[in-house]
Amino acid sequence: MDRRTFIKATGTAVLLAPVLVRETLAAREPSLVAVAEGTDHAATTRKAINAVGGMKRFVKAGDVVVVKPNMGWDRSSEFAANTNPLVVRAVVEECLAAGAKKVKVFDYTCNDSRRCYVNSGIEGALKGMKNVECKQIEPERFKKTTLNGQFLKEWDLYDEALSANVYINVPVAKHHGLSKLTLGLKNVMGIMGGNRGYIHRNLDVALADVNSHVKTHLTIIDATRILTAHGPQGGNIADVKVLNKVIASTDTVAADAFATTLFGLKPIDIPVTVAAYKRGLGEMNLDKIKIVKA
Amino acid sequence: MKFTPARICQFIFLALFLVLFVQTEYRGRDEINAAVNAFFRVDPLVLFSYLLAAKSWNWLLLPALLMVMATLLLGRFFCGWICPLGTLLDLVTSKIRKSAPIMALKGNTKYWLLLPLLSASLFNLNLSGLLDPIAILLRALTFLLYPVIGLAARGGWVGLYSAIGERRDAVAPTYNLIRDNLLPFRDTIYPLAFFSAAVLIGIIVLERFETRNWCRNLCPLGTLLGWLGRFSPFSRVPTTTCGDCGKCRELCPTSFDRDVLIKEECILCMDCQRDCPHSRISFLPALKLKGNGPLLPERRLLLGGMAGGLLLALPTRFRPPERQSRLLRPPGVRDEDDFLKKCVRCGECMKVCLKNALYPAAYQAGLEGIYTPLVIPRLGYCEYNCTLCGQVCPTGAIPSLQVEVKRREVIGKAVFDKNHCLPFAGKIDCIVCEEHCPIPEKAIRSREVQVMGLDGLVKTVKEPYLVEEICNGCGICENVCPLETKAGIEVFAVKNRTPIPLQSAGHELY
């Protein structure tokens, strides 16, 4: 073996290593995606959480938990631009029941944050709950964070999301003009500060960069109703489809992959999912994902 | 300071003014029931200039009409009992040492201000808001004082975070209470901030020469009220200082330096009655309604005032054409000329604007448009579901509209600048504008096209395009465009501001 061949071989091995490691891991324990269905959205959410092991699996007594819904738009709940407040409340209640010291709920909104918090219904749904904080983003809390990603070397991330013991991602499943769909992986933009529009020029890679840095313990996708067109903010009830489904998984890529099928698409159609899969962030092949109906 | 009924009333209204000022902000509800516009609704100067300029009636002005009647009946009580600027002057004047009054301000100066102002209104130039005392006070508060308070409080709060980090949360509830109820939500710097404050400070500096100098010698609202008050049947008796005493001269904040009560200047504070050592003074309905001399001190005032208004009205209409293209008015304003006739320039819309899209025009709208509100999309956009500016506008220059109607009102139309816009200039994906476009059918859409990238390779890019028919010019696209400084899409003014068609009508377009 000459030097050139050796370098080639080593290079290939290094490149393939994450895939190989993932393959072996996946072989041992396939990603589990729980899908619950029902018109009582709080109960459905609980069923989904229990099917992936219950909240006690993630939240220990005394933990500070961040629940990160999508409430980026000044739209009322039925338009499916924001996460269903009933789902958010159920998740928060489960965290408290599991012994969380504090549950923080926030999103870096696109429209005026006061209106988004009010009109999404989420601020109202959490009002008066003890040890629950639903406060607006304070810009000084964004911390320049080294990502050393393929596209983003560093970015401002929200310190409360980084410092929490448990990070629970609660996106709504909806259409998006650029990324086709916005699901769990894209919901991470709500903890990104700075000129967020900048990352649109290489969105798939940028989201993989951020998601490899932010540890998501649990992803719960709200598909109680989904926005099928004119996303991400919609506004026309004709674009909304009621599914009464809630999806839960510890693997955001797998949860996204399954949620994609609700729109009649394949995971391979969604570049954000593909980029995250290639990065080794999770499983996107539906035949390798264990899907349980809860 | 003695707490006379007039004084107590003044404080109540000053407090009310400040409370309403702070309330003129989004606090979690779509409607603002009580805003500081109440003070303009009862302002007869606003009433007369509106009637002269717009030449039409508006029910929003009914309270001002009632104030006119009350003044005809009682006299110039507004200045001594209600006006918040007057109260402010009363509060500071005792701390300011007086030199002699400025003689140049005596005589008919106040009429030379009021009459051209009113006559200019008749010639379609409504500038009364520039010299209206409540507008002056409100602008100084809105454009300088309140933002400074907000910036200072937030600066301290952020500083605390860099000093002690997350431990700051311990005092957060206290700060949140102040922030949610007192502070401005967003830190905004306004143009004309110093100028606005300088006018108010100038008025305070005038107190160096005599008490209530502005009110007596300049204020057009006071002059108007004084003129109306001449017809009041109530008069102070006796009408002159008494030969054996003359204490009124020091008690009276306005009129008695000439030993005779000038009825137009009496603000009915009643200090003279209260503190008269001989209890000789009373305010009674006069038995006979005798006039206080001629209606105007000089006949040439009327002619000169008219001529002055005309001279003022025509040349100020010059507007640099290149600035017209970005002359974006608040939603619901369809006609520029009509808007200028009705706008008081009070600054309330700019204070209440949810995303701080509105700023006072310094020169963009020409001299006649100074202080009128402009949308500057790069700084803030018009929030799709918000109707606050129309709600607080005291004269309906910005109409108060239902949200379904307001969403369709056209502010301008967006235009792509392909030399800057990334998919065109850089051949890379972006479409942040499409993502944010609030129109349910999307006025900004995109299509996939095969282009040659800058590296010479053929690739697929999403190119955005505008569906002009359903663009309402809210400006969120320009606001969020991720390019630095100049945006790749900009909103330009249009003459035809016919509302965009109802929802779903846009489905067939393109």
pLDDT digits (tens, 9 = 90+) for A147-199: 999 999 999 999 999 999 999 999 999 999 999 999 999 999 999 999 999 99
CATH of domain B408-510: 3.30.70
Spatial distance between the Cα atoms of B414 and B412, rounded to a whole number of angstroms = 7
Q: Is the pLDDT of residue B416 over 80?
A: yes
Compute the average pLDDT of residues B80-106.
92
The answer to whether the Cβ–Cβ distance between A111 and B383 falls below 8 Å is yes
Smallest CA-to-CA distance from B82 within B113, B45, B42 is with B42
Where do the domains of chain B lie?
A: 5-138+193-313, 408-510
**Residue B503 confidence class, pLDDT cut points 50, 70, 90:** low
Please say if the pLDDT value at position A21 is more than 80.
no
Q: Do A236 and B440 touch (CB under 8 A)?
A: yes
What chain A residue is nearest to B187 in terms of C-alpha separation? Answer: A139
Q: What is the pLDDT of residue B117?
A: 93
**DSSP SS3 for B4:** coil
Report the mean per-residue pLDDT for chain B: 91
- Does an H or E element contain B458, and which? strand B458-466
Closest CA to B482 of B412, B406, B429: B429
Residue A262 scores a pLDDT above 80: yes
Residue B510 has pLDDT above 70, yes or no: no
**Confidence label for B342 from pLDDT (cuts 50, 70 and 90):** very high
B365, pLDDT greater than 90: no
Q: Choose, out of A102, A142, A203, A236, the residue to mutate when testing the contact with B (most B CBs < 10 Å).
A: A236
Contact (CB<8Å) B430/A201: yes
Contact A176 B435 (CB under 8 A): yes
Segment B418-423 mean pLDDT: 96
Q: Shortest CB distance from B480 goes to which of A140, A197, A234?
A: A197
Instruction: Find which of A158, A174, A195, A200 to mutate to test the B interface (most B CBs within 10 Å of its CB).
Output: A200
Q: How confident is the model at residue A29 (pLDDT cuts 50, 70, 90)?
A: confident
Q: Give dist(CA B391, CA B405) in Å, integer.
A: 13
CB-CB neighbors (< 8 A) of B384 in chain A: 74, 111
Q: Say how many residues make up chain B.
A: 510
> How open is the CA angle B462-B466-B468, to the nearest 5 degrees?
165
Query: Are the Cβ atoms of B383 and A112 closer than 8 angstroms?
Result: yes
Say yes or no to pLDDT of A18 above 70: no
Q: Provide the residue type at B208 as one letter.
A: R
pLDDT of residue B506: 47
3-state secondary structure of B236: strand
Q: In chain B, what residues touch A204 (CB-CB under 8 Å)?
A: none
Q: How far is A28 from chain B (nearest CA, A)?
A: 39
Distances (CA, A) of B312 to B3, B55, B302: 44, 19, 15
Each residue of B283-307: pLDDT tens digit? 888 755 555 567 777 888 889 999 9
Average pLDDT, chain A: 93
User: What is the model's pLDDT at position B504?
Assistant: 54
Inter-chain touch A115–B354, beta carbons under 8 Å:
yes
More confident residue, B366 or B497: B497
Q: SS3 sequence, B279-337?
A: CCCEEEECCCCCCCCCCCCCHHHHHHHHHHHHHHHCHHHCCCHHHHCCCCCCCCCCCHH
CA distance B490 to B473: 9
Check pLDDT > 50 for residue B428: yes
**How confident is the model over B304-317, as a mean pLDDT?**
87
Contact B482 A195 (CB under 8 A): yes
Give dist(CA A33, CA A38) in Å, integer. Answer: 17
Categorize the per-residue pLDDT at B353 as very low, low, confident or very high, splitting at 50, 70 and 90: very high
The chain A residues in contact with chain B (CB within 8 A) are 74, 110-112, 114-115, 118-119, 135, 138, 140-141, 159, 163, 176-178, 195-198, 200-203, 230, 232-236, 238-239
Percent of chain B predicted with pLDDT > 90: 68
Q: Is the pLDDT of residue B318 over 90?
A: no
Average pLDDT score over residue span A39-44: 97
Mean pLDDT of B471-479: 97
In one-letter notation, the amino acid at residue B313 is: A
- ipTM score for this prediction: 0.89
Q: Measure the CA–CA gap between B111 and B406, rounded to whole angstroms.
A: 41
Dist. CA A32–CA A38, nearest whole Å: 20
For residue B253, what pLDDT is reported?
86
Q: Please, which residues have CB within 8 angstroms of residue B248's CB and are 6 or more apart in sequence?
A: B241, B256, B272, B276, B281
What is the separation of C-alpha B89 from the centre of its chain, rounded to a whole number of angstroms? 20
Give residue A238's pLDDT band: very low, low, confident or very high (50, 70, 90).
Answer: very high
Question: Average pLDDT, stretch B421-446?
Answer: 95
Which 8-state DSSP code applies to residue B111? H
Q: Residue A48 — very low, low, confident or very high, per pLDDT cuts 50/70/90?
A: very high
Query: What string of H, E and C letters represents the secondary structure of A11-64?
Result: HHHHHHHHHHHHHHHHHHCCCEEEEEECCCHHHHHHHHHHHCCCHHHCCCCCCE
Is pLDDT above 90 for B1?
no
- What mean pLDDT is predicted for residues B58-85? 95
Provide, as residue numbers in chain A, all residues whose Cβ is less than 8 Å from the Cβ of B156.
Answer: none
* pLDDT at res. A25: 54
CB contact under 8 A, A178 and B429: yes
- Residue B205: how many CB atoms within 10 A of its CB? 13
- CA-nearest residue to B434 within chain A is A177
A119 contacts B161? CB cut-off 8 A: no
CATH class of A31-293: alpha beta
Would you state the pLDDT for residue B395? 95
- Report the chain A residue with the minimal C-alpha distance to residue B172: A135
Instruction: Kindly report the nearest CA distance between residue B394 and chain A, in angstroms.
Output: 24
* B485 band by pLDDT with thresholds 50, 70 and 90: confident
- Cα nearest neighbour of A198 on chain B: B482
Q: Is the pLDDT of residue B173 over 60?
A: yes
On the question of pLDDT at A5 being above 80, the answer is no
Say yes or no for a CB contact (<8 Å) between A230 and B429: no
Nearest to B465 by CA among B488, B482, B487, B484: B488
pLDDT surpassing 80 at residue B465: yes
Q: Indicate the SS3 state at residue B33.
A: coil
- How far A234 CA sits from the closest chain B CA (Å)? 5
